[in-house]
Amino acid sequence: MGMISAANQEPVGVNDYTDRVILPRISLVIPNLNSGDGFERAIQSVLGQGYPDLQIIVADGGSKDSSWESIQRHRSSIDVLINEPDDGQADGINKGFSLADGEIHCWLCSDDELLPGALLQVGKVMAENPDADVVIGDCERVFADGLRFVVEARDDTWDIIGMQNVVEQSATFWRAGLHERIGELDRSYNLAFDWDYWARMRGAGAKLLTTNQTLSRYYFSDDNKSGSMGYQFSVEAYRVIKDHGPLGGWIADIYRFLYLNFDRKGCCDKPPRASKIRMGVFCVCWGTLRVLIGRTRLRAYNWHFAVLQERGECWWR
């Protein structure tokens, strides 16, 4: 397990680079189920990459809306098309990767997009850093009310991944050999299959490389599952942290205790909505835990957005 950095590497044009280095083949899976116009945006962002050795795999779960029309419109550019019912998004992605033949793997949700030059940057840093198993770049988040900001790839990702998902999936790429070692995504998850996968990468000793280029754009709508399933997140986050977190997984129990007894009761709101008595108990517990488990582990607790989602409140500002 290790960390290397490509922070100072600048994007280059295809013609400036391919004459000197053979770029690795990339297999990109797009899972889709009735994503509407989002699929068109996603596929256009992939086709616009101009990457010289790209396998595009679309795993469609049986769409009946305009996204299926978009798939048919771009059928000649899609190397592999799977069109059959699946057992959720993770299952569709697994089906796609089972047919992948590239050296580098990634998936792009059908409502997100790659930014220009993203694949070339990934291919470049992977070619120049053969020890790297995983590349993570920056990602721009776009919310329903128009707010947008860039989430930077963190150098401490592997240190924190067992407690908090700090990886932006659409800006993450890994070698096929690593995929073979750790296996498929866990289909029992509805939301956190990516987080579990990153934690398994760390557990397998994968070497992580970060690049400061913004590689993707992640869209949050009013109804996509990443922004509307707060309680489900808490259930699945508990599982991931229990399996991969520090203190033998007991940190998951601490986080769930904070979530159920204080966060959901208003102690973490700004300003707090809890009673003075509960706030007093919360402050005592927080101070005690800071001594017992350390400031870093305690501050990695970040489930408050799930509480706001449960209430139907704005959770991203």
pLDDT at 21 (0 to 100):
76
For the chain, the C-alpha Rg in angstroms (whole number) is 20
d(CA 214, CA 128): 19
d(Cα 179, Cα 292) in Å, to the nearest integer? 37
Collapsing DSSP to helix, strand or coil, 35 comes out as coil
Question: What pLDDT band is residue 20 in, cutting at 50, 70 and 90?
Answer: low
CA angle 60, 236, 67 (to 5 degrees): 20
Average pLDDT, the chain: 93
Report residue 69's pLDDT band, with 50, 70 and 90 as the boundaries: very high
pLDDT more than 90, % of the chain = 90
The answer to whether the beta carbons of residues 188 and 94 sit under 8 Å apart is no
Cα 7 from Cα 30, distance rounded (Å): 27
Tokens describing residue 211: 């690049």
Go through the domains of the chain in sequence order and give each one's CATH number: 2-226 (3.90.550.10), 243-311 (no CATH)
54 in Cβ contact with 28 (< 8 Å): yes
Whether 144 contacts 219, CB under 8 Å? no
> Is the CB of residue 67 less than 8 Å from the CB of residue 32?
yes
Does residue 204 carry a pLDDT above 60? yes
The torsion angles phi and psi of 207, rounded to 5 degrees, stand at -90, 125
| Angle between helix 66-73 and 38-47 (nearest 10) | 20
Give tens-digit pLDDT for 37-48: 999 999 999 999
Asked if residue 149 lies in contact with residue 26, where contact means CB atoms within 8 angstroms, the answer is: no
151-191 confidence digits (pLDDT tens): 999 999 999 999 999 999 999 999 999 999 999 999 999 99
Rounded to whole angstroms, the Cα distance separating 75 from 80 reads 9
Q: What per-residue confidence (pLDDT) applies to 7?
A: 46
| 1-5, 178-182, 193-197: segment of lowest average pLDDT | 1-5
Q: For the chain, count helices (H), then strands (E).
A: 13, 10
Q: Identify any residues that bridge with 57 across adjacent strands, giving them in sequence order.
A: 29, 80
Which has the minimum average pLDDT: 15-19, 193-197, 301-305? 15-19
The closest alpha carbon to 175, from 24, 14, 6, 307, belongs to 24
pLDDT of residue 17: 57
Q: pLDDT tens across 107-159, in order? A: 999 989 999 999 999 999 999 999 999 999 999 999 999 999 999 999 999 99
Closest CA to 164 of 256, 240, 247: 240
